Structure 1
Amino acid sequence: MDADDAKYVCGLTPQSLEKAKKELNEDPKQRIGAVQTLRKWIKQQPHLTCRTDTQFLLTILRRSKFSQLVARELIENMLTMKTKYPNLMSNLDLKEPAFRTMLDAGVIVYCPKKDHEGRSLVIIRPGKVPDMDDPNFGHHVEVRMGLAIGELRRHLDENITVNGIMLMFDFTGATMKQMTKRNSEERKIHSKIWQDCTPERVKAFIFYNPGPILEFFLTTVKQFMKKKNQERIQIHETMESLYKVIPMEFWPTEYLPDDYNGPSAGSVSEITAYWKKVISEESNRKYVLEASHEKYKIDEKKMPKKQDAIPQESFRKLAID
């Protein structure tokens, strides 16, 4: 047994473990065996330079519902895009100045509480971006920051991969100029990365207060989303409508009525202060830098011929969500 496998201790809560068994086909007795099978395949691929640590491989397998075939495809997709777009996916450094500035501005808010299904809420507020004309705060920064902190969150809490996240886009204050800053090819690339090249399981796409931006989204962005993700889109014009989906206690105080006195996720400034502290820890920075290192890539010149590949029929084919 690999030394890393021997050290692994499952960090799933009883609720998450039950969901992993039921929804992701995870069998605790076969878990390490599945990791070893995937690791062996990676090491046999001359064109891949890929992480093989237990936690990473488990994340991939859970995202793939423990289908070895789908896990392989996810790794191939991830490394192909990472090799092609290193400016978006490689050498992610939590000390990048733009990350701290975006956190301070409240562009991305990682809410600490999880709902009754174990899902965490991430609020994205494009209207808070400091200056979209500044190259330091373009959409590429949002992608890099999302990938970096997403990688760190899954590292710190493996329940996230099992239960997934809810993305809430708060368009308050956003302008059409901001939305059109990203061209069609960039939207296609970014959608490909989020849907096919990360272990993230997005269980809901919530659009709040979209106004005229909604029509723009439906005609330019939705076309790049897979059908399953299109079906997860929710549109809300009021917070009262959102409270029916996500109870008040999970929202930052800025999203709650003035006369509300119950539990909450804390203020945006408090949440931001917490994440600034987390990303400032050198151990976390080193982890993300290593996990996203440019050495992990694909070499197309060394790619085996198709006839040398293992027949797909030997693997389970699953509908992955």
Structure 2
Amino acid sequence: MRNWIEKNPKIINCRTDDSFLLRFLRFKKFSVPMAQEALERYILLRQTIQQAFHNLDMKIPKMEYLIDNGYLFAVPGRDKLGRRWIVARPGVFDPYKFLNEDMCRVHGIVYETLMEDEENQVRGFVHYADGAGVSFPYLTLFTPKEAVRIVKNGERTLPMRHKEVHAVNVPASLKYVLDWGMTLVSDKIKKRVKIYTSIEEAAKTVDVSMLPKEYGGTVPMSEMIASFKEELKASRQQLLDNDLMEVRLELFSEQAKEGAVSALKKGNTTCSPYKNDILSGSFRKLEVD
């Protein structure tokens, strides 16, 4: 991977430390060509949507507000399978106060911080989302086309392993939107999504010991958020340094550029899959981390 990065004319600057390269190798089950392709797509995505992927600074007032109020945070510890749990509370996000790029940026801060940990790369994540407070104005944040690109890049470009997704308090008025969203993800992810009408219903099957006290656990949400903020602080400088990574946009195919339609209202582009011409050995069938 390091030799390929050094010789790749598309890449101007890229991290080459073990943890960073392994996140792509693990993401693609150690298929080197697929990991290379994923890394290129990832940097292209970061570069073309800088509002969402650059300046991932938890100290930005809007970001600090969303984090302090528990919009998105990882709970302390790991479950019996070694996975980290991420709690999402979209109702905290005021669509009249914040922009869609604010939503993308706070997700970038949380996910990039968690991906720095190699154990998280191996074990993956469990998502627990509370839809309380989400209403129709949220649908104005992204157009359907933008939403499609965000969902697809979230699954195919960000090197994260999404093991389970639990959603509670989904408003009946937005159920059709969720049903539509489910058509965008792969069958693998679709099978991992569980929807519950209430917190109480979810508690019958979900490991509530991993959740804040407000959702059936024992540790108050405020303590979990404070603990996670310390993780964010520890990774803050690395996330800012990631902005130094860069590719030569003019060397990417039109297919790569055109396939990634705007994911933000400001007209920047996300990226779509494309064929990488620089290939090396594939070890996809190996049973390794």
Which TM-score band applies after superposition, normalised by the shorter structure? 0.7 to 0.9
Per-residue Cα deviation, 1:125-180 (whole angstroms, up to 9, x for no partner): 11122x2112xx2332222112222222232x321111111112211121122234
- Residue 234 in structure 1 maps to residue 207 in structure 2: no
Q: How does 1:295-310 map to 2 (within 5 A)?
A: 295-302=244-251, 309-310=277-278
Match of 1:72 among 15, 28, 36: 36
Give the distance between the partners of 2:15 and 2:4, measured in 1 at CA. 12
Per-residue Cα deviation, 1:292-311 (whole angstroms, up to 9, x for no partner): x0x3132133459x999345
Give the distance between the partners of 2:277 and 2:211, measured in 1 at CA. 48
Q: How does 1:271-310 map to 2 (within 5 A)?
A: 271-279=224-232, 281=233, 284-291=235-242, 293=243, 295-302=244-251, 309-310=277-278
Q: How does 1:53-72 map to 2 (within 5 A)?
A: 53-72=17-36
Q: Between Structure 1 and Structure 2, whose CA radius of gyration is higher? A: 1
Describe the shift of the 1:139–1:204 C-alpha distance in structure 2 as closer, same or farther (beyond 3 A).
farther
Contact 1:94 1:285 in 2 (8 A): yes
Q: TM-score, normalised by structure 1?
A: 0.75
Match of 2:144 among 157, 180, 184: 184
Match of 2:9 among 46, 53, 75: 46
Consecutive unaligned residues in structure 2, runs of 5 or more: 254-273
Give the distance between the partners of 1:127 and 1:286, measured in 2 at CA. 29
Contact 2:209 2:218 in 1 (8 A): yes
Describe the shift of the 1:203–1:302 C-alpha distance in structure 2 as closer, same or farther (beyond 3 A).
same
Q: TM-score, normalised by structure 2?
A: 0.82
Describe the shift of the 1:114–1:302 C-alpha distance in structure 2 as closer, same or farther (beyond 3 A).
same
User: How many angstroms does 1:108 deviate by?
Assistant: 1.3
Contact 2:75 2:225 in 1 (8 A): no
**Where does residue 315 of structure 1 map in the other structure?**
282
Contact 2:67 2:73 in 1 (8 A): yes
Give the distance between the partners of 1:95 and 1:160, measured in 2 at CA. 24
Match of 1:216 among 177, 193, 196: 177
Match of 1:107 among 71, 84, 104: 71
Contact 1:172 1:210 in 2 (8 A): yes
Give the distance between the partners of 1:250 and 1:42, measured in 2 at CA. 39
Contact 1:165 1:203 in 2 (8 A): yes
Give the distance between the partners of 1:284 and 1:56, measured in 2 at CA. 13
**Where does residue 270 of structure 2 map in the other structure?**
none
Contact 1:106 1:125 in 2 (8 A): yes
SS in structure 2 at match of 1:46: coil
For residue 179 of structure 2, what is the amino acid of its counterpart?
Answer: L
User: How many angstroms does 1:100 deviate by?
Assistant: 1.0
**Where does residue 165 of structure 2 map in the other structure?**
205
Contact 1:119 1:165 in 2 (8 A): yes
Which 10-residue stretch deviates more, 117-126 or 173-182? Answer: 173-182
Task: Tell me which of the two structures has the higher relative contact order, counting C-alpha pairs closer than 8 angstroms and 6 or more residues apart.
Answer: 2
